[in-house]
Amino acid sequence: MAVIAPTEAYHPVRDHLKLNRAGLWLFFFSECVLFGLLLSARFYLEGIQREELDQLLGLGITIILLLSSVTAFTAETAIEHDNRKLANWGLIATIALGVLFAAGVGYEWSIAHFHRDEAFGTLFFTMTGIHASHVISGIGILVLVWVQFLRGRFTGKDHWPIAGAVMYWHFVDVVWVFFYPALYLVN
Amino acid sequence: MQKTMQTGLVVAVILAVLTIFEYVFAVNFDDDTIRFIGLSFAAVAKAALIVYFFMHVYRLWRVEEAH
């Protein structure tokens, strides 16, 4: 009986990284189901109608979140190339912009004139609330990773926690890319 | 690193332009259907850029060194 030899030797670090990455993408897929259902509920219940929202505030927090994705990308790229100073500033800026975004959503909640008993109010508070909870947990993860980074934990060859946290942050940004027009811009 | 950062900045500029386009398009366009299609197109384009360039989805099936 012929035995087929493996084409590639097992490499514990590389293969572990591949598993981490695949696991994170599976998690993103399950999150897509959650956010996709919220999005479909929004259009099922309200069609393309919406209540009046502060357009400039919506645009402002959207730009803040997109900017935080750029600083997160900078942090990841910098640590990949062992540029610790730039990675440090990238992480700090991402955390700060995340806090600013969450504060913006909080302010939007405080001035929203519709009520959570209305269909649009229910959708608005649920969608922005679940998204904001992801932003806040993302900030928490980034702070944990940043503290580890300050302790000298990561190098250019070993920085999966930073890469994973940054990927999560980008995912939160992708969700908002769909939520922003659905809540603020249609109709 | 400089090349990667340049790519990131180009993507960031495209994302900013698409976001401004979304806003201006939504505020100035009257037809609901066309506005919905335009906004959907912009959102999908932005998501694709982030997933490919920032989340490095291609690394899932690329053989590479460990980091």
| Residue A17 vs residues A29, A66, A103, A162: alpha-carbon distances, Å | 18, 27, 35, 13
**B55: nearest Cα among A58, A122, A164:** A164
Contacts of B32 in chain A (CB under 8 A): 48, 186-187
What ipTM score was computed for the predicted complex, to two decimals? 0.89
**Is B19 within 8 Å of A63 when comparing Cβ atoms?**
yes
DSSP letters of A98-147? HHHHHHHHHHHHHH--S-TTSHHHHHHHHHHHHHHHHHHHHHHHHHHHHH
pLDDT at B66 over 90: no
CB B50 within 8 A of CB A69: yes
SS3 state of residue B20: helix
**Is A74 within 8 Å of B5 when comparing Cβ atoms?**
yes
Contacts of B38 in chain A (CB under 8 A): none
| Residue A128 contacts B where some CB pair is shorter than 8 Å | no
Per-residue pLDDT tens digits for A62-119 = 999 999 999 999 999 999 999 999 999 999 999 999 999 999 999 999 998 887 678 8
| Residue B6 contacts A where some CB pair is shorter than 8 Å | no
Contacts of B47 in chain A (CB under 8 A): 174, 177-178
Report pTM.
0.90
**Of A124-128, A169-173, B21-25, minimum mean pLDDT range:** B21-25
